[in-house]
Structure 1
Amino acid sequence: MYVQQYAPVLGSLAISSAIAALPLLVLFVLLGGLRVRAWLASLIALAVALVVAIAVYAMPVGQALLAGTEGAVFGFFPILWIVINALWIYRMTVRTGHFDVLRRSFSSVSDDQRIQAVLIAFSFGALLEALAGFGAPVAICTVMLMALNFAPLKAAVVALVANTAPVAFGAIAVPITTLSQVTGLPEDVLGAVVGRQTPVLAVFVPFVLVFIVDGMRGLRETWLVALVGGLSFAIAQFLTSNFLSVPLTDIVAALVCAGAVVAVVKARRTTTARPVTVGAGGGGGGVGDGPDEAAVPDASGRQTAADDSRRDTVLAYLPYVIIIVLFSVQQIPPIKSAIDATTTKFRWPGLDVRTPTGSQVSSTSFTFNWLASAGTILLIAGLLTMLALRVAPRVAVSSYGQTLSELRGAIVTVMAVLALAYVMNLSGQTITIGQWLAATGGLFAVLSPVLGWLGVAVTGSDTSSNSLFGALQVAAAERSGLDPVLLASANTSGGVLGKMISPQNLAIAASAVGMAGREGEIFRKVLPWSLVFLLGMAVLVYLQSTPVLGWMLPG
């Protein structure tokens, strides 16, 4: 048995936090500064976390290694299980030619990459986040953007930056459900407050996407589309989370946003100047694409959407319709209850970690939801896609094997990062950092979103960050005389901004666009946006804790 300690070095939270942060510092320096491959950087950081846990926190070697194994398995199931099956569906549509049809169909709405970034990465990505989450939107949207002639680096950056505002309500609002469970605060109240924070972020994200694609020129020429996309999503997210249903928030917001963007594109089609398919050259502010990052050639040649039959177009969209239908059906109460009944929860063998009060740490229990998992639903969707598109079993199996082969670097990275997260969490390193930040008193209103951001950056999951820091946020709020609901909500709202720099999501994006081993390049492109948005969220939460913006919170 191991009893956690939070200030193992001279009883000082500050000194202990500095040492506890070493694994994260090593990871981000290796990734962003020294350009070490993500799988190697993750393994080195994991080794540092194990050394700190054993040598500084006096965690028994066996317990530290068991914590790492639980994290590694969690990294594969459910996270990689989702990504593998999502990419498998994509591979099959490529093999049958239906993905080219889908690409041409999206191009028929607009051949302007700036608009495509808003429509696919932001709107369609939000729908995927609402239904699946855990990396699926990044995996699918990056390859969709690649098929629309986006350069690989740009496709990855756009998909990662877009995967922010919807995350708090992702996977049918699992992050908020989890936050409610660990804090004891009402789910609908938490959802309402988050629904008064992330919509502010949503207004700006489309503008950033347009800027990434085409710099200032893009903003001058497509600001209206960005404004309509951001505002429609934000308003729908606010209204749904506050007055309709927290679990349905992102589904409604994504559909409203898509409809609004398509409507404004059709209204301005007569004034659209030209397709935009180049990198930063014209605008001076987009993501630079080196000579090896040129736009992907158009595999369809001169063929246009008008040349595709209605049947082919329907079949091209069918895999995604199947995905949406399956995830929607899964939420029907009787079906959900039946599926959840197959879930097994058990203590990780040999792992015995207690809090200082003597209670068992909840993360030592592993949930094996083999049927309810989003990855399994995607596997079923893949089998149905195989039948609908008449994919031969031999082709389906070879596509699955190709997917596993291409993801091998990401598999190692994600499993290592989650092993790192579990070692840090169970040894007490993460809580040390959190308690040190929480000791800042009233200033904690500014740091509260930072804590959520840190949790997601480490674990890659807003749900995990809420599990880790939710109760700590409430305790810190009560000590500081702040609103517990506000700070608990800030944990999940700030957390969404750590998603784009999480090593596991970087690995997913890099693998999806054929840039495995170059995660550091993507990291350097998205880090500034993550920090800028985080600063904005910290200011927003602080002002909401004061009379200046306190009126934004529900009475």
Structure 2
Amino acid sequence: MASAHPWAALAAYTPDVHAVGGSLAGTALLGLAPLGVFFLLLMVVKRSALQSALGALITALLVAVFGMGMPVDLGLLSASQGLVFGLFPVMLIVVAAIWFYELTVVSNRFEDLRRSFSAVGRGDLRIQAMLIAFCFGGLLEALAGFGAPVAITAAMLMALGLPPLRAAVTVLVANTAPVAFGAMAIPITTAGNLTGIPPEEIAAVVGRQSPLLALFVPLLLLFLVDGLRGVRQLWPIALVTGAVFAAAQFWCSAHFAYELTDVVAALAGFAVAVLMLRFWRPTTPDDQRSQVEADQQLTPRRVLLAVLPYLLVIVIFGLAKLKIGALDVPAALGIWNLKIEWPGLYGALLAPDGSAADSAVYKLEVLGNPGTLLIVSGVLVTLIYRLTRDEHFPMTAGMAATAAGRTVKNMRVAIATVATVLSLSYVMNQSGQTVAIGTWLAAAGGIFALLSPSLGWLGTAVTGSDTSANALFATLQQTAGQKAGIDPTLLVAANTSGGVVGKLVSPQNLTIAATAVGVPGSERVLLRKVAGYSLAMLAVLCVLVYLQSLPVLSWMLP
């Protein structure tokens, strides 16, 4: 018997979707209570995301014990497994990504990268604004995420001469297409770990959804900056930039390292814009001429050193995925992978057939983890910057270590919040609450595919994080898909893609944008300006996913 496992608790438990009065609907509605508490505390009571997550976690444990019949010790052990998973690998990757970005800041190389973006565009403010908000913002989203792209690019657009609120709206809209693959694609990695679906498969499907937004966002940014005139005069470069960004997202998500999708797409989009501007001259009215001119001291060497970290991380991740003949780097890196049968939970948490549930096994890539690869990349960047340092561009090992400590300190609330949300997710999943909700929603049948992105939109709009939205709803989407006869990978990807446009209206992002442009308290004004774009893009995604679930567009899927 599975319960005889040496780590097993005294009482075994098998989730039951009819636990409440023998009713699926009653069990599902009770299972929604933790999510209801979370949204109520966050939106109505105005508590912090961490406090709201803690309240929801307590509620989930109460529902698990008194509603689902889960033993108390198993509920707490489930929460502990989710907590550890939230720390390693989820927040390890995020913290490592932000530290990697901080290395370019403390060495002063980030300023050269900013000047490089600002100097491009033949003096046209609108082109510079588009490239900074879209390409540079996408690059920052790829590595930093968590509001950093909005804060940094908004300040840069104001320096170009854009009015504060226009700059804020522009960067909020730009911070949509890259979100699914943000912070080294941590939303997709999280969804993969929770559902058991290989993250590479989820990424490949997302790469057939979010690029549709990327294709048209640059045109929308021109409209926001300069109305129809901007679109009419500059549509060629916007269309080319968006098309290359979208093509790179599609290719990298399915054929390279999916964690690097936004890095590759952002650099490719920027590179093709620079190349196009060598042969094509925009029509620039006097009122749209940028005050930012090319920095005469910005030598090719300085530009190369500024871009080097991002090129290096592409090489490191590429090598980590390399398979040529007998050379199998992923297998070599996997020799230290951890696979731990969670003490006390494994063998006591049972699948419907009576076997030990696989979800009670904690898995961690040690060497091949994106966080580890980012740390290796950061160490190499530190070494290179130390060898090339001078009075203007300092770098020492001590500065890198200090940056790491500062990153952890600054991220401590975010770390605690994400870890708590993952604890909530594990309790809901392993107690059967999520399965009950998903099975109940699957009664909608094929039409559920039309609604699927809306869950991701809601989760990200409320939490401000596509990662948290996937932690809350990825398993639910998987279950609903399995019960309704819809490809679960499609629905999990739809949850991720829906979260992309939910980021646009999240209170967290609105507050960051309002603060960055020096107009605190303008969140309601910004919300009115961007809500229509968010809902329109959500509608497009809903229709796309629905058609992808049917023979009409199923050919798009891998």
**Equivalent residue, structure 2, for 1:202:** 214
* CA RMSD after TM alignment: 4.7
Check the 8 A contact 1:156/1:510 in 2, yes or no: no
Deviations 1:83-116 (A, max 9, x none): 2222223323222221111110111124777655
User: What's the offset of the Cα at 1:167?
Assistant: 7.1
1:400 aligns with 2:390: no
Give the letter aligned to residue 300 of structure 2.
R
In structure 1, C-alpha distance between the alignment counterparts of 2:420 and 2:200, rounded to whole Å: 32
Mapping for residues 500-511 of structure 1, pairs under 5 Å: none
Check the 8 A contact 1:75/1:414 in 2, yes or no: yes
**Equivalent residue, structure 1, for 2:3:** none
**Equivalent residue, structure 2, for 1:383:** 379
In structure 2, C-alpha distance between the alignment counterparts of 1:429 and 1:109, rounded to whole Å: 52
User: If the length of structure 2 is used for normalisation, what is the TM-score?
Assistant: 0.75
In structure 1, C-alpha distance between the alignment counterparts of 2:538 and 2:37, rounded to whole Å: 22
1:57 aligns with 2:68: yes
**Equivalent residue, structure 1, for 2:431:** 427
Q: 1:406 to 1:240 in 2, by over 3 A?
A: closer
In structure 2, C-alpha distance between the alignment counterparts of 1:193 and 1:93, rounded to whole Å: 32
Match of 1:262 among 254, 274, 291: 274
In structure 1, C-alpha distance between the alignment counterparts of 2:371 and 2:522, rounded to whole Å: 27
In structure 2, C-alpha distance between the alignment counterparts of 1:162 and 1:360, rounded to whole Å: 40
**Equivalent residue, structure 2, for 1:476:** 483
Q: 1:31 to 1:276 in 2, by over 3 A?
A: farther
Give the letter aligned to residue 329 of structure 1.
L
Check the 8 A contact 2:191/2:471 in 1, yes or no: no
**Equivalent residue, structure 2, for 1:348:** 342
Larger radius of gyration: 2
In structure 1, C-alpha distance between the alignment counterparts of 2:89 and 2:508, rounded to whole Å: 16
Give the letter aligned to residue 30 of structure 1.
L
1:231 aligns with 2:221: no
Check the 8 A contact 2:456/2:494 in 1, yes or no: yes
- 5+ residue gaps, structure 1: 279-297, 479-483
Between 395-404 and 353-362, the greater mean CA deviation after superposition: 353-362
Match of 1:325 among 305, 315, 319: 315
Mapping for residues 505-520 of structure 1, pairs under 5 Å: none
User: If the length of structure 1 is used for normalisation, what is the TM-score?
Assistant: 0.75
In structure 2, C-alpha distance between the alignment counterparts of 1:18 and 1:172, rounded to whole Å: 26
In structure 2, C-alpha distance between the alignment counterparts of 1:510 and 1:489, rounded to whole Å: 32
Match of 1:88 among 91, 95, 99: 99
Residue 492 of structure 2 aligns to a residue whose secondary structure is: helix
Give the letter aligned to residue 261 of structure 1.
A
**Equivalent residue, structure 1, for 2:467:** 460
In structure 1, C-alpha distance between the alignment counterparts of 2:287 and 2:35, rounded to whole Å: 42
Between 32-41 and 78-87, the greater mean CA deviation after superposition: 32-41
In structure 1, C-alpha distance between the alignment counterparts of 2:522 and 2:354, rounded to whole Å: 41
Q: 1:449 to 1:512 in 2, by over 3 A?
A: closer
In structure 2, C-alpha distance between the alignment counterparts of 1:406 and 1:360, rounded to whole Å: 40
Check the 8 A contact 1:123/1:258 in 2, yes or no: yes
Aligned residues: 515
1:308 aligns with 2:309: no
1:97 aligns with 2:139: no
Give the letter aligned to residue 109 of structure 1.
V
Q: 1:22 to 1:262 in 2, by over 3 A?
A: farther
Match of 1:533 among 525, 534, 537: 537
**Equivalent residue, structure 2, for 1:369:** 365
Give the letter aligned to residue 479 of structure 2.
L
User: What's the offset of the Cα at 1:550?
Assistant: 4.6
Check the 8 A contact 2:57/2:424 in 1, yes or no: yes
Q: 1:85 to 1:29 in 2, by over 3 A?
A: same
Check the 8 A contact 2:184/2:370 in 1, yes or no: no
User: What's the offset of the Cα at 1:355?
Assistant: 2.8
**Aligned-residue identity in percent:** 37
User: What's the offset of the Cα at 1:407?
Assistant: 1.2
- 5+ residue gaps, structure 2: 1-11, 159-163, 387-394
Mapping for residues 107-126 of structure 1, pairs under 5 Å: 107-110=118-121, 115=127, 119=131, 122-123=134-135
In structure 1, C-alpha distance between the alignment counterparts of 2:211 and 2:314, rounded to whole Å: 23
